[in-house]
Amino acid sequence: MSKVKVAIIGSGNIGTDLMIKILRLSETLEVGAFVGIDPKSDGLARAARLGVPVVTTGVRGLLDHPDFGDIRVAFDATSAAAHLANDAALRDTDIKIVDLTPAAVGPYVVPPVNLDEHLGQRNVNMVTCGGQATIPIVAAIASVATTRYAEIVASISSRSAGPGTRANIDEFTETTSRAIEQVAGVRRGKAIIVLNPAEPPLIMRDTVFCIVDDCDRDAVTSAVLAMEEKVKAYVPGYRLKQDVQFRRITARSPESDLIPEAPRGERWVVSVFLEVEGAGHYLPPYAGNLDIMTSAARQVGERLGAAVAAR
């Protein structure tokens, strides 16, 4: 079967890493156009050296590209603001869009949680790096225990936070918080991001903190471990740092004020500690926050491409 042609919009770190992942790993996708606006960017130069068709005039240039009619999926790795314009420019086409920005024009998608139900959408959103790392775990816990509150903390190296990430900090927290509720099915979600300036740089680390009603702790642990394996299938550097932690909430626990409306009875804090090491395709291994985004996007793109090819 011939490969499905895709376009990658955005020639920065995320777009370039995604391009290399598709070139090296994908058996179903082909990069038909790599799109940027800075002809001198390293990403565009690298794409040209690899023989990938390059567009240096943004989405408008992509629309005029001679092979534009063959493009079936477009990945947008620009910014939240730029994505709104890019989505509008592609709206009258048949192209499926995988949005790696926090713009959230389309529904949130986290591959092992809800990809199947959104394969028919024109535009899907990849949430954020913190969302991709933690929402699978929150969803796993919520699948076996009534989860009233979930809080995640994503700690990433400041070296891996480029201009786009820094410009979208507010969007990160808002988008991830909403996605925790909508995708994982939690009543209340909260997200925090920490840019860690440590040298040498530390890899991405995430904490998942859930408040649940009385639960089967073995079932919760089994669900978390099963989800870890599902994510690891497309992000090999994804792993739990230690066993799932449980702590009973008492009347004096500070967490008791987070969900005052909850019924009486035993409640527990479930804590999961994760780290994500990057594959080192284009970005350094400590940039697991970027690697999980591009790995998840490739997973979604392959499934969308297969759905298009099957028509």
Share of the chain above pLDDT 70, in %: 96
pLDDT at 151: 97
The pLDDT tens digits for 140-190 are 999 999 999 999 999 999 999 877 778 778 888 999 999 999 999 999 999
Residue 12 sits at φ, ψ, to 5 deg, of -80, -160
In contact, 192 and 154? CB cutoff 8 Å: yes
3-class DSSP state of 134: helix
The pLDDT tens digits for 75-131 are 999 988 899 999 999 999 999 999 998 888 999 999 999 999 999 999 999 999 999
Going along the chain from its start, the domains and CATH numbers come out as 4-127+291-309 (3.40.50.720), 129-288 (3.30.360.10)
pLDDT at 88: 97
What does the block give as tokens for 289?
């926050």
Binding-site sequence positions:
11-14, 160-168, 289
Residues belonging to the active site:
129
Q: For residue 183, which of 120, 99, 110, 126 has the smallest C-alpha distance?
A: 110
What does the block give as tokens for 174?
């808002």
pLDDT at 170: 84
Binding-site sequence positions for NAD(+):
11-14, 160-168, 289
Q: How many CB atoms lie within 10 A of CB 173?
A: 18
The pLDDT tens digits for 29-82 are 999 999 999 999 999 999 999 999 999 999 999 999 999 999 999 999 998 889
Task: Report d(CA 182, CA 122) in Å as an integer.
Answer: 19
Please report which residue ranges of the chain form alpha helices under DSSP H.
Answer: 13-25, 42-49, 58-63, 80-90, 111-114, 129-142, 163-167, 169-184, 217-232, 288-309
Does 262 score more than 60 pLDDT?
no
pLDDT at 261: 61
Beta pairing, strands 238-240 & 96-99: unpaired
pTM score of the predicted model: 0.94
Does 259 score more than 90 pLDDT?
no
Average model confidence (pLDDT) across the chain = 93
pLDDT at 255: 72
3-class DSSP state of 77: coil
pLDDT at 257: 67
